[in-house]
Homo-oligomer: A and B are copies of this chain.
């Protein structure tokens, strides 16, 4: 909504509504109010300009809009009065017909226009008070829809009208709309009803993700609503909770694997129309086909997600596809692999029965060499290919998120279903993605760590052919019989660990050598020379988790080649080696990496060529010892990366010679602190020190009370960059002579006698190419100077330390920017440490101090700010806040996922060993209402409900279940009331639900009508 004051007596109010129904797109309502005591004569021209026609090709519009204009055809349909914006013919340069059969449409309700204009031509005439001419048809001109009307507006009255706009309507749609328009008695009411219907549908969607809460702090619950909404729009929602339309599942089996489909055709087509996922899985398992079971686990009935990923990448146009071409409801999701799982994590907190499905989707997409593809969608995986014409195109593995996002899912499963995940460790129902990238040998990697992956066109072609025949499963590793090669979850968890460990530079971190950066994009150029401590911090937590997971197992089954790789890695982490780690020389570090990397290459070479040769049993004790040894090696490296101020390095640079590796630290970064705080390696007291240091550091932006990714360093200005003193030149023998001969090709001397490299020499590669070219003209004079000139260049540009966006960009993840997802990750990390302190019975002062720091971090987040301070709608989450302007990119932030989780943490919902714990120690008393209220929500069946709340209460839903917290006076004992739908209420005095009751909640069984927690102030967080 937006207001505009025209003058003292007139005011305009605009309201925009969007609908997702069939008939209308968006509605712009305008209300003109006469505030004065006199009647006013109005002559108004209102509408929309530059309306694009249906079928406008985006790329051509961006690059050649004038060409698109020439195809434009706008008309007002005489019969209906609807304005149609079309291209008369499809835009193509091929000699083939291309009928254009859709129109964008606009019509107006609410006043009788005296004139209607289809272009902006006459706007100036209106300003000049010249007479206007009706325009019902234009060709080759930009479309507009402007109506001119004159009327008298009585004193203290108003007038409202609406523009109803929609896109890509077929003739059928338009004729149907015409019919509705002509038959309807009250079109405006019909539209308002449609808006209401869609609002209700949105309420239903939000309710399925537990978006409704009612507390005394409206901003908090509104912010939660927004987080839930955007989380759903990023990753999608489960369409009908746990229900799976069997027709969709069957189609999915057919899509992925035709032989499997054919083998079970009768069974699949005989299934009832819909089944809850656990029931479906049970039936499927009875078929005794591991591949069918795999496909069932992987099937996610998700809808509503926009195509998910960084919009600066060309593929990532938003697209929320809810219906198929026939208008039928559609299950659909697609997203960047590294983005979509985060939102599912938050969603799973309301749908725990799908946790293992998402884990399956995750690990089934990981490759034999331990990485992950670029994109996933309902139809399978996808990877980047190179387009030589597009400077933005590139291939490689984004090694980031992998460990921590997988781990978070595993931890969820371990909390909700500790038995289930342990069972999966042994079930061979998982697979490998076969991305046709081939990582080169360790020698090649060292030689050029930025050019490490070959695209195997032959494999790619084979896969493409296979997809035609077998189905999308042809993108997976197949065995010799052409079937999908299956392994258990243990192997799928070990391979990424081995891949990371094989790039472990002791004391430095995990070497980024797959041509793509770790998250975050700030350091997008670190690939090659970068070492990630961030990944190592997360790896620490992963190793600890695996120790817990494998503890009580016996042997596990592994592919032979994986077992061999594991053996080799184990050798490198023997305790006798590990003691050396502290005193390790650069040479020993080089050797250690070489040994690890060569084992990995041996493994890769083997499996790239031959695949796997069978399975073997592996002793779990060996693994557990290995995990312990690894943990101690990791801990040594972590210690070595502690800064003198108590904070930790996030990334390092690797400086490798023929036989040694030196480690150079980069600057302070927020990501490193988040990762170490999440690693499990930092105790409560240390965490408090670190957080206090952080608030005093140059990462803190006091204007936004929050943290940047790295300090906003002052940069040299344009004319002081790339400046070389005359002495630096004369110090190099014979250089002056060459520069005299070679003109401006290499260096140019300015009017002040300083030298500058030629502006074409954008990097070392360009310099080398130029030197080689000069060599043909000037021979050995150049050859001898190559090394010193390269050294001069590096001195001038310091390109070895080039980290990417963090060095030369000022929006997004750039200099001065706050990247809100990282702040939210910090928030979650502090909350984890807080609960960890509670769980370990830490002293109260420490816990309280941590709680205070939690709220201090939270204080920086938008919803606590004024619109002026935030520069945007405070309750909405945004991607980033650059130094020079307000928050940017609403909803496009992983912040939403972290904050959905922290919010339930604030409310004290914790799950442990399959039981629900109510532990609201972080909840503030101020959130309790001070008057009776009514909490409106939708129940699991989708019915609108209202819950009458007393004073001093909080209400919310979780897994669709309404939960009421009521604050009693401090003397009353806390109690949990289970309101059964068909039996008497049950009162529990410890705040933990039994495994049985917890399971009913997880399963959305609807047997429980409500849970009421009566508690006293002692349990809450005392600010």
Residue numbers of A with Cβ under 8 A of B are 57, 59-60, 62-64, 66-67, 69-73, 75, 77, 79, 84, 86-90, 92-103, 137-141, 170-172, 174-176, 178-179, 312-314, 325-327, 387, 389-394, 450, 515-517, 524-528, 715, 717-719, 721-723, 743-745, 748, 750-752, 756-765, 797, 799, 802, 804-805, 807-812, 814-816, 882-885
Given the complex, which residues of B lie within 8 Å of A84, measured CB to CB? 718-719
Given the complex, which residues of B lie within 8 Å of A723, measured CB to CB? 171
Given the complex, which residues of B lie within 8 Å of A178, measured CB to CB? 751
B719 close to A77 (CB less than 8 A): yes
A751 close to B175 (CB less than 8 A): yes
Closest partner residue, chain B, to A801 (CB atom): B97
B95 close to A748 (CB less than 8 A): no
12 contacts between A and B (CB under 8 A): A59-B390, A63-B314, A71-B810, A79-B719, A93-B392, A93-B394, A95-B516, A96-B525, A97-B799, A101-B756, A172-B756, A326-B745
State the 4 A-B residue pairs at the shortest beta-carbon distance, nearest first: A89-B808, A140-B810, A70-B811, A95-B527
A312 close to B64 (CB less than 8 A): yes
Given the complex, which residues of B lie within 8 Å of A883, measured CB to CB? 139-140
A179 close to B751 (CB less than 8 A): yes
- Give the docked Cα–Cα distance between A745 and B325 (Å): 8
- Give the docked Cα–Cα distance between A797 and B97 (Å): 9
A99 close to B722 (CB less than 8 A): yes
Given the complex, which residues of B lie within 8 Å of A70, measured CB to CB? 809-812, 814, 882
A763 close to B62 (CB less than 8 A): no
Report the minimal beta-carbon distance from A981 to chain B, rounded to whole angstroms.
41
Given the complex, which residues of B lie within 8 Å of A759, measured CB to CB? 101-102, 170-171
Cβ 8 A contact of A810, one of B139, B325, B718: B139
Q: Known contacts A72-B810, A141-B885, A883-B139; is A170 also within 8 Å of B391 by CB?
A: no
A175 close to B797 (CB less than 8 A): no
Report the minimal beta-carbon distance from A375 to chain B, rounded to whole angstroms.
16
Given the complex, which residues of B lie within 8 Å of A326, measured CB to CB? 743-745
B140 close to A884 (CB less than 8 A): yes
- Give the docked Cα–Cα distance between A342 and B979 (Å): 89
- Give the docked Cα–Cα distance between A649 and B799 (Å): 67
Given the complex, which residues of B lie within 8 Å of A67, measured CB to CB? 312, 811-812
- Give the docked Cα–Cα distance between A395 and B743 (Å): 42
A524 close to B95 (CB less than 8 A): yes
B139 close to A884 (CB less than 8 A): yes
B172 close to A807 (CB less than 8 A): no
- Give the docked Cα–Cα distance between A325 and B758 (Å): 10
B71 close to A808 (CB less than 8 A): yes
Q: Known contacts A763-B96, A804-B95; is A884 also within 8 Å of B138 by CB?
A: yes
- Give the docked Cα–Cα distance between A29 and B718 (Å): 27
Given the complex, which residues of B lie within 8 Å of A57, measured CB to CB? 391
Report the minimal beta-carbon distance from A303 to chain B, rounded to whole angstroms.
21
Given the complex, which residues of B lie within 8 Å of A744, measured CB to CB? 172, 325-327
- Give the docked Cα–Cα distance between A631 and B674 (Å): 86
Closest partner residue, chain B, to A393 (CB atom): B93
B762 close to A884 (CB less than 8 A): no
Q: Known contacts A92-B391, A515-B95; is A884 also within 8 Å of B141 by CB?
A: yes
Given the complex, which residues of B lie within 8 Å of A810, measured CB to CB? 70-73, 88, 139-140
Given the complex, which residues of B lie within 8 Å of A90, measured CB to CB? 762
Report the minimal beta-carbon distance from A938 to chain B, rounded to whole angstroms.
32
A752 close to B139 (CB less than 8 A): no
Report the minimal beta-carbon distance from A955 to chain B, rounded to whole angstroms.
41
Given the complex, which residues of B lie within 8 Å of A59, measured CB to CB? 63, 390-391
Given the complex, which residues of B lie within 8 Å of A804, measured CB to CB? 95
- Give the docked Cα–Cα distance between A718 and B327 (Å): 23
B140 close to A811 (CB less than 8 A): yes
Given the complex, which residues of B lie within 8 Å of A390, measured CB to CB? 59
- Give the docked Cα–Cα distance between A137 and B86 (Å): 45
B98 close to A176 (CB less than 8 A): no
Cβ 8 A contact of A718, one of B63, B73, B92, B756: B73
A63 close to B62 (CB less than 8 A): yes
Q: Known contacts A69-B811, A140-B814; is A172 also within 8 Å of B750 by CB?
A: yes
Cβ 8 A contact of A89, one of B392, B752, B756, B809: B809
B77 close to A718 (CB less than 8 A): yes
Given the complex, which residues of B lie within 8 Å of A71, measured CB to CB? 808-810
A763 close to B99 (CB less than 8 A): yes
A816 close to B139 (CB less than 8 A): yes
- Give the docked Cα–Cα distance between A387 and B389 (Å): 9
B101 close to A762 (CB less than 8 A): yes
Given the complex, which residues of B lie within 8 Å of A815, measured CB to CB? 139
Given the complex, which residues of B lie within 8 Å of A393, measured CB to CB? 93
- Give the docked Cα–Cα distance between A345 and B810 (Å): 52
Given the complex, which residues of B lie within 8 Å of A816, measured CB to CB? 139-140
Cβ 8 A contact of A75, one of B75, B100, B717, B802: B717
B808 close to A88 (CB less than 8 A): yes
Given the complex, which residues of B lie within 8 Å of A72, measured CB to CB? 810
Report the minimal beta-carbon distance from A51 to chain B, rounded to whole angstroms.
14
Given the complex, which residues of B lie within 8 Å of A715, measured CB to CB? 73, 88
Report the minimal beta-carbon distance from A123 to chain B, rounded to whole angstroms.
16
Cβ 8 A contact of A748, one of B170, B387, B799: B170
Given the complex, which residues of B lie within 8 Å of A391, measured CB to CB? 57, 59-60, 92-93
Given the complex, which residues of B lie within 8 Å of A805, measured CB to CB? 89
- Give the docked Cα–Cα distance between A171 and B77 (Å): 60
- Give the docked Cα–Cα distance between A393 and B92 (Å): 9
Known: A93-B392, A141-B884. 17 other contacts (CB 8 A): A59-B391, A60-B391, A62-B63, A67-B312, A70-B809, A71-B810, A79-B719, A84-B719, A88-B715, A90-B762, A95-B517, A95-B527, A97-B762, A97-B797, A140-B883, A172-B748, A172-B756
- Give the docked Cα–Cα distance between A327 and B748 (Å): 13
